[in-house]
Amino acid sequence: MHILDIAENSTRAGARHVEIKLREDQERDLLILEINDDGDGMDEVALSKALDPFYTTKKVRRVGLGLPMLAQAAERAGGRLTLSSQPGHGTHLKVTFGLSHLDRQPLGDIAGALVTLIAGNPAIDFTYRHQGRNGVFELNTAALKKELEDVPINHIEVLKFIRQNINEGLQEIASAA
């Protein structure tokens, strides 16, 4: 859910491309999540408040729990969150977790999160790259859109294919979900 929440922040910030990278580093016992976007970015004031749960730019609720909860989850699992951003240049988020740490939350339904993002944001290009124990799985919606030609990427049959492709790819690389 953290990935979905943070990537949705990117879409609301006007991103045209969102890159999500997960790396399972067995040697250093780290799970590393990076999310990069080409959205509006944040100025120094917004960036300094981004981890405050009582700060949000959303109009529908008065608290912004996504980043603070992700930072707390990382710290509980022996990791940390870093955030950098510049107006007009997008945002870069990097979160580390202890891969084998007892308090690390499971990755959950990665395929479901990605399909939700794609279905709700068909005009945005998403790249998902996951490096697991046995290789790398990558999904690039820009390339997929070219292959689909006139079929919308959020067509139900396409979304079913994407979900199946992600699940099979993650099994092949033996993800530590």
pLDDT digits (tens, 9 = 90+) for 23-39: 999 999 999 999 999 99
Q: Say how far apart CA 4 and CA 57 lie, in whole Å.
A: 17
Q: Which domains does the chain have, with CATH numbers?
A: 2-172 (3.30.565.10)
Closest CA to 35 of 94, 83, 81: 94
With 90 as the cut, is the pLDDT of residue 50 above it?
no
Q: Strand ranges (DSSP E) for 7-124?
A: 17-25, 30-37, 80-86, 90-98
Cα(3)–Cα(118) distance, integer angstroms: 13
* pLDDT, position 162: 97
Backbone φ, ψ for residue 67 (5° rounding): -65, -45
pLDDT given at position 59: 58
Question: d(Cα 175, Cα 143) in Å, to the nearest integer?
Answer: 23
- Residue 62 in this model has a pLDDT that exceeds 50: no
Residue position matching structure tokens 């979160």? 95
- Res 54 pLDDT > 80: no
pLDDT grade for 124, boundaries at 50, 70 and 90: very high
For the chain, how big is the Rg over CA atoms in Å? 16
- pLDDT at residue 64, as a whole number: 53
Confidence of residue 63 (pLDDT cuts 50, 70, 90): very low
